[in-house]
Amino acid sequence: MNVVTASQDRRINIHSLKTGKCSRYYKVDSDAGELLKVSLDPAGIFVAISSSDKNIRIFDFYSGNCVAKAFGHSELITGIKFTRDCKRLLTVSGDGCIFIWKLSNDLTKLILERLEEIKPKTSIVDIPKTIQEKSRELPSPIPPQSFSPDEHLPLQELHNALSNAIEQPGSSSSTQNLTG
């Protein structure tokens, strides 16, 4: 098990939870500025980082190669996270804008294939009945909505747009692809 950190000297550090020591690191190109936030995808294949140059970069966790780079925020990115469905990357900036980036089909496919490989081999039949019953009580998740990074939406406008999209399931929205 590993922990991934980003440091001000433009390094992505991989630490072993067992030893607490840095087991390897990757140097990010010198034009990136300071690395600010880091997020590992659910399968542990890609690392997304934000930096002081307001760019987002996605790196292959195992090789350290940059596989995608994107720009769109006008302020520093203060949060970054892959969605559970592995199709999007969420970013939040200091100006209150939230961007929902669509990952390329190739990146999504790799992540989902890896998740399938590491998925526990437990079937619904093996889960105790009480857990099955409780899982039926949970509300279903709301599907994520996409917005182009050209649309800088403050939180209240984003909330209103998402509310309208939820009330009108057929509404369309533009999507910004995040590809290498």
**Is the Cα dihedral 152, 157, 163, 165 positive or negative?**
negative
Please state, in angstroms and as integers, the Cα–Cα distance from residue 44 to each residue in 59, 93, 113, 133, 169, following that order: 11, 24, 12, 31, 32
On whether the CB atoms of residues 36 and 50 are closer than 8 A, the answer is yes
Q: How far is CA 1 from the centre of its chain?
A: 19
Token pair belonging to 49: 């980082």
CA dihedral 87, 119, 141, 50 (to 10 degrees): -40
What three-state secondary structure class fits 108? helix
What three-state secondary structure class fits 129? helix
Confidence (pLDDT) at 128: 56
On whether the CB atoms of residues 59 and 100 are closer than 8 A, the answer is no
How far apart CA 66 and CA 71 sit, in angstroms, is: 14
Confidence (pLDDT) at 108: 92
Each residue's pLDDT expressed in tens, for the chain with a length of 180 residues: 778 888 778 888 888 888 888 888 888 877 778 888 999 999 988 999 998 889 899 988 888 888 999 989 999 999 999 999 999 999 999 988 999 999 999 999 999 999 998 887 655 555 555 544 544 444 444 444 444 444 455 566 655 555 554 444 443 343 445 555
Confidence (pLDDT) at 145: 41
- Residue 67 β-bridge partners: none
